[in-house]
């Protein structure tokens, strides 16, 4: 019998959602199953639209990572129609993606992480940070007002805006309310443990809670690293193979993880935590480090550093674009004919991480399950660390009497 627990109360029955089922036997998680239920994909709504209208629709269709989705759409459409945006436009778009990532990451910490570790939600801190980030957005969009048009801003846009560096500095100071500087989290496992024990910030409390859990097996889902858009283009050219790849994307023949842990996996302190069996703590530390990495990338843009290229064409009328979002890698592929969209494919971070063989399915295997409440809290921490872009349900079953899933 499957027992439902931990239902995300924000969701309604008609929303996209993930169901994670843990099969418990002999006091441990012995099996897992992950399923994703989706309404008609948003990409189908875009087919048949004029290209300019499609860009506007993208911003309306996605409530989370709306800026990243719009930037990916613009890049893919520009590649498909052989139009190139100016360096100022490319930099402004990347800055807006980073601002969105900072907002979403800090929002999770200030509100959701706080609730899980028993702290009051930091409403005033979140409001102040949002005000600072809104000021950042205004600086960027005023300087490059055509960032959201195919082809980008008109001649005359200036990058970087004069006020951007100081505004980034204000955001950096504000983040210190929840996240220490990167050096504290990059030093060593000993330093991370000392910080988690002594500091009263929400991130320290969450990491301390994770460090107090029993050791766990090292994950066997590799990070999505070294990816190339041309490889994705090859997988998405043919309809039959493309449909399977979009539904269950793989890299180098296997499920892969994207997001903060994948981006920080090579850092010595994060890798050491994983090796020591503190994988959940490693994920939370990676989330905090990723906020600081995002802030540093925004600061580099403010100093005039150019963002890396993330678009490619794949023949006449075909374009792909990739954007690193708060939750991981987002890929759009668009086919255009006579200025109308004839095909649109989207691979979202959750498509990688909620893969049946992916991080959400594999990570809990072997976890101690003798205390149901403690296990539920641990899984919720995992979900906050992976941060899927849809609601999720957590359910339990007796793995000795019910089959299926991964062992």
User: Is 170 exposed, middle or buried (CB count within 10 Å of its CB: 0-12, 13-18, 19+)?
Assistant: middle
Q: Which helix (H) or strand (E) holds 28?
A: strand 28-37
> Average pLDDT of 58-82?
93
What's the topology of domain 3-146+160-398? Cytochrome-c3 Hydrogenase; chain B (1.10.645)
**Whole-model pTM?**
0.92
Residue 7 CA to residue 265 CA, distance in Å, equals 30
Rounded Cα distance, 394 and 6, in Å: 5
Give the pLDDT band (50/70/90) at residue 378: very high
Cα angle 53-54-56, degrees, rounded to a multiple of 5:
65
What's 387's DSSP letter? Answer: -
Show the tokens assigned to 266.
Answer: 């090579």
Rounded CA gap, 229 and 62, in Å? 23
Q: Could you tell me the sign of the dihedral formed by the alpha carbons of 140, 141, 143, 149, in that order?
A: positive
Per-position DSSP letters for 184-242, written without gaps between them:
HHHS-HHHHHHHHHH--SHHHHHHHHHHTSPP-PPP---B--S--HHHHHHHHSSHHHH
Q: How would residue 15 be classed by pLDDT, with cut points 50, 70 and 90?
A: low
pLDDT higher than threshold 80 for residue 228: yes
Q: Which segment of 269-278, 287-296, 304-313 scores lowest on mean pLDDT?
A: 304-313
Among 371, 381, 366, which residue's Cα sits nearest to residue 29?
366
pLDDT for 371 beyond 50: yes
Q: How many CB atoms lie within 10 A of CB 144?
A: 28
Q: What is the pLDDT of residues 77-110, one digit of tens each?
A: 999 999 999 999 999 999 999 999 999 999 999 9
Task: Look at residue 14 in the predicted model and tell me its pLDDT.
Answer: 41
Tokens of 263: 């981006």
The full set of domain ranges for the chain reads: 3-146+160-398
- Is 63:104 a contact under the CB 8 Å cutoff? no
pLDDT tens column, 142-197: 999 999 999 998 878 889 999 999 999 999 999 998 999 888 898 899 999 999 99
Percent of the chain scoring above 90 in pLDDT: 77
How far apart (Å, rounded) are the C-alpha atoms in residues 220 and 113? 26
C-alpha dihedral sign at 210, 211, 214, 218: positive
């Amino acid at each position: 019998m499957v027992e439902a627990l931990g239902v995300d109360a924000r969701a309604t029955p008609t929303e996209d959602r993930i169901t994670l089922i843990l099969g418990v036997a002999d006091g441990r998680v012995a099996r897992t199953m992950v399923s994703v239920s989706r309404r008609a994909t948003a990409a189908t709504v875009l087919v048949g639209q004029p290209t300019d209208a499609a860009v506007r629709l993208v911003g309306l269709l996605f409530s989370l990572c709306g800026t990243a989705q719009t930037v990916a759409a613009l890049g893919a459409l520009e590649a498909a129609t052989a139009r190139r945006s100016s360096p100022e436009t490319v930099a402004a778009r990347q800055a807006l993606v980073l601002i969105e990532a900072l907002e979403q990451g800090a929002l999770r910490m200030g509100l959701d992480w706080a609730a899980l570790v028993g702290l009051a939600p930091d409403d005033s801190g979140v409001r102040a940070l949002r005000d600072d980030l809104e000021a950042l957005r205004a600086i960027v969009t005023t300087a490059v007002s055509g960032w959201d048009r195919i082809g980008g801003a008109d001649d005359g846009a200036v990058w970087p805006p004069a006020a951007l560096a100081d505004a980034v500095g204000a955001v950096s100071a504000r983040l210190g309310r929840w996240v220490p500087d990167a050096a504290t989290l990059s030093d060593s496992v000993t330093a991370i443990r000392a910080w988690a024990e002594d500091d009263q910030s929400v991130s320290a409390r969450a990491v301390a809670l994770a460090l107090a859990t029993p050791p766990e097996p090292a994950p066997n889902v590799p990070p999505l690293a070294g990816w190339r858009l041309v490889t994705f283009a090859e997988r998405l050219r043919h309809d039959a193979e493309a449909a399977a790849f979009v539904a269950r994307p793989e890299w180098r023949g296997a499920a892969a993880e994207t997001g903060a842990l994948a981006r920080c996996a090579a850092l010595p302190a994060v890798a050491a935590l994983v090796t020591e069996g503190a994988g959940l703590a490693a994920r939370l530390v990676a989330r905090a480090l990723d906020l600081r990495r995002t802030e540093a990338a925004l600061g580099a843009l403010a100093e005039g550093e150019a963002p890396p290229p993330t678009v490619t064409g794949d023949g006449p009328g075909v374009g792909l674009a990739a954007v690193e979002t708060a939750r991981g890698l987002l890929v759009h592929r668009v086919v255009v004919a006579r200025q109308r969209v004839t095909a649109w494919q989207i691979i979202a971070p959750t498509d990688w991480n909620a893969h049946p063989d992916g991080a959400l399915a594999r990570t809990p295997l072997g976890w101690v399950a003798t205390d149901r409440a403690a296990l539920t809290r641990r899984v919720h921490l995992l979900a906050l660390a992976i941060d899927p872009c849809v609601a999720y349900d957590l359910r339990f079953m007796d793995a000795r009497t019910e089959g299926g899933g991964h062992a």
